[in-house]
Amino acid sequence: MHASTVRSLLVRGMLAGLVAGLFAFAVAYVVGEPPVNGSIAVEEAQAAHEAGAHAGHGAAAAEEPAEEEAVSRDVQSTFGLATGVLVYGVALGGIAALAFSFTLGRVGRFSPRATAALVSAAAFTTVYLVPFLKYPATPPAVGNPDTIGKRTTLFFLMILLSVLLGVAAVIAGRRLAPRLGNWNATLAAGAGFVVVTAVAFAVLPDNDDAVKAGFPAALLWEFRVASLAVQLVMWAVFAVVFGVLAQKALAPRVAAEAPAQVGAPVAG
Amino acid sequence: MAEAVVSAAVSAPSVAVPAPLPVRAVLPWAFFVGLLALIALYFVGAEQGATSLFAGSDVHEWVHDGRHLLGFPCH
């Protein structure tokens, strides 16, 4: 019975992730593609400029930018973008559903819907927001190809660290709750998370060469806000959709538990 | 005192909390799905960027825009 409950939550998590991915794709296409195209235009203008300076005449420079592309821009900005965002949505939807299965009934007196919202907020914060604050998303053409290995390692390390710190904060909050009360225990655990994260930010190396000097600041800002919007919409939609689906899937369990809890003291 | 009684009477039935699912029921799913999801995320986020399992750059080019906008370092 428990295994089938987990199974149905997992299916609903992946479905909610797919729906969230569709919304995120819409935002990425409408808000994200203009700065991506703008960045590629900047790159091509720079490449043409450099080629022109090296060759000394315009003919070579004019033909240079049209480098052979394996996948056209039209495909990249539609099917390619959709593939990336939907796979991300389904994969993280599945993981979030299992995190929800662990969390349900263990973090406090929250309904399935409220637990789904909390898990989604935690996932958005630890998987995207915290790593983004240290190693923000960069548009095409701004990076130094020589440092992609180091930058990728640091980015995934930051995600891992942030998720582990988030889990540790939740466990610490639960341990502190009997002594400090729920409100203060939550504040203390949250403050601990912020402090340790800040120390990690200070200790981990920066990505100074992630953005080329001279890249337009307004375009970079536009791209980063778009990236933030994509993830915010993804997790907000996931929270709402998975909340509804989980609430329905767990209705029999909730009903079975409810009579025993009427008049019971509010604990944790 | 009266306030506490009232709030308990109001809040207790309105928040129906299901019992936690046993860890041993969740763990196999979490392990297997976590593994598959991480592989999927690797292909979206990193393949043919920092490291390559497959030669060429088709995977990189296909998910290129998504990789940038989802926040992964791309190139």
pLDDT at position A68: 59
Q: Is the Cβ of B14 closer than 8 Å to some Cβ of chain A? A: no
The one-letter amino acid at B3: E
The structure's pTM equals: 0.86
Q: pLDDT tens-digit profile of A68-124?
A: 577 888 889 899 999 999 999 999 999 999 999 999 999 988 999 999 999 999 999
Q: pLDDT tens-digit profile of A162-177?
A: 999 999 999 999 999 9
| 23-62 of B, contacting A, C-beta below 8 A | 23, 25-26, 29-30, 33-34, 36-38, 40-41, 43-46, 49-51, 56-58, 61-62
Q: How confident is the model at residue B6 (pLDDT cuts 50, 70, 90)?
A: very low
Q: What is the mean pLDDT of chain B?
A: 80
pLDDT at position A65: 45
Residue B8 pLDDT exceeds 50: no
At residue B51, φ and ψ (nearest 5 deg) are -135, 160
Q: Regarding predicted confidence, which is higher, B27 or B3?
A: B27
How many whole angstroms separate alpha carbon A77 and alpha carbon A40? 12
Which of B6, B11, B14, B21 is best to mutate for the A interface (most A CBs within 10 A)?
B21
Record: contact A2-B66, CB cut-off 8 A: no
Q: Regarding predicted confidence, which is higher, A31 or A68?
A: A31
Written as one string, the DSSP assignment of A68-86 is: --SS-HHHIIIIIHHHHHH
**The token pair that represents A36 in the structure block:** 């991506």
pLDDT at position A257: 65
Residues 6 or more apart whose CB falls under 8 angstroms from that of A162 comprise A125, A126, A127, A130, A131, A197
Residues 6 or more apart whose CB falls under 8 angstroms from that of A70 comprise B56, B57, B58, B61
Residue B14 pLDDT exceeds 60: no
Report how far Cα A152 is from the mean position of its chain's Cα atoms: 15
How many whole angstroms separate alpha carbon A185 and alpha carbon B23? 24
Helix (H, G, I), strand (E, B) or coil at B46: coil
pLDDT at position B55: 83
How many whole angstroms separate alpha carbon A177 and alpha carbon A30? 45
Q: Measure the CA angle with vertex A7, ends A5 and A10; round to 5°.
A: 110
Report domain extents, chain B. Answer: 20-75
Contact between A23 and A240 under an 8 Å Cβ cutoff? The reply is no
Query: How much is the ipTM here?
Result: 0.84
pLDDT at position A55: 59
Record: contact A70-B58, CB cut-off 8 A: yes
Q: Give the residue carrying structure tokens 């080329």.
A: A212
Q: How confident is the model at residue A25 (pLDDT cuts 50, 70, 90)?
A: very high
